[in-house]
Homo-oligomer: A and B are copies of this chain.
Amino acid sequence: MSMTLSTPLMNQLGIVKRHIERAERAAVDQLATFGCATVHEAMGRVGLMKPYMRPIYPGAQVGGTAVTVLLHPGDNWMMHVVAEQIQPGDIVVAAITAECTDGYFGDLLATSFVARGARALIIDGGVRDIRFLRDMGFPVWSKAVSAKGTIKSTLGSVNIPVLCAGALVQPGDAIIADDDGVVVVPAADAVRVAGVAQKREDLEAEKRAKLASGILGLDMYDMRGPLAEAGLRYID
């Protein structure tokens, strides 16, 4: 149930890995139905990107398999290289080697990504042509929105492990994103986590009904004893 990661690979620029092992599609699609918060819980509360990653429009909820790209600041050349590696159901995860809010992605690249079957873009940088992206229904989670254009002159890499917004993403990992944020599930764990999430979801439906009927969490979770033991005092 573990996997090996060749960390030196993280150091290398100018590499495109063509064959990656993707998380099982059915599990990814199932994870997508639960949304980011539930999957994050099912993962044991790890794998979440930083909360500065926000969707460019509200309401999207997607899941897909990661193809990763590492970009140089102010340079989106590798975006065209990663486009070729996209397979239907993938989500592109873009990391930058430095903090830079330029707009690395817009309407043309979105058109190309969609033609390749991409479901979304996750980028630890900026994006532009927001209205176009919203109109075409291509969701993006990003650190910034910026009309600032980029050049195409420096190599990065495609499908190497990347650190994106505080999370380690390996090519093929399952990515789940919605209005709450973005979570990463290692490919090898996707099936297991989907099972855990399903159980959690089943339990929550029941709890939700109880709470909606007016039952308090204090009683439903039997918290009154532990709270008293911890020293909680009620005063008037």
Which residues of A does B touch, CB under 8 Å? 1-19, 35-37, 40-41, 43-48, 50-51, 54, 57-59, 61, 72-75, 77, 79-81, 83-84, 97-103, 106-109, 111-112, 114-116, 126, 128-131, 134, 144-149, 151-155, 163, 166-168, 170, 178-181, 183, 186, 188-189, 204, 207-208, 211-214, 216-218, 221, 223, 227, 230-236
Contacts and interface: CB of A to CB of B under 8 A. Distances in A.
Given A126-B51, A231-B155, A208 B111 contact: yes
Identical copies in the complex: 6
A114 B144 CA distance: 30
Given A50-B99, A108-B211, A235-B16, A223 B80 contact: yes
A106 B208 CA distance: 11
A74 B47 CA distance: 16
A205 B139 CA distance: 21
Contact of A108 (B83, B166, B207, B236): B207
Given A163-B166, A218-B83, A128 B19 contact: no
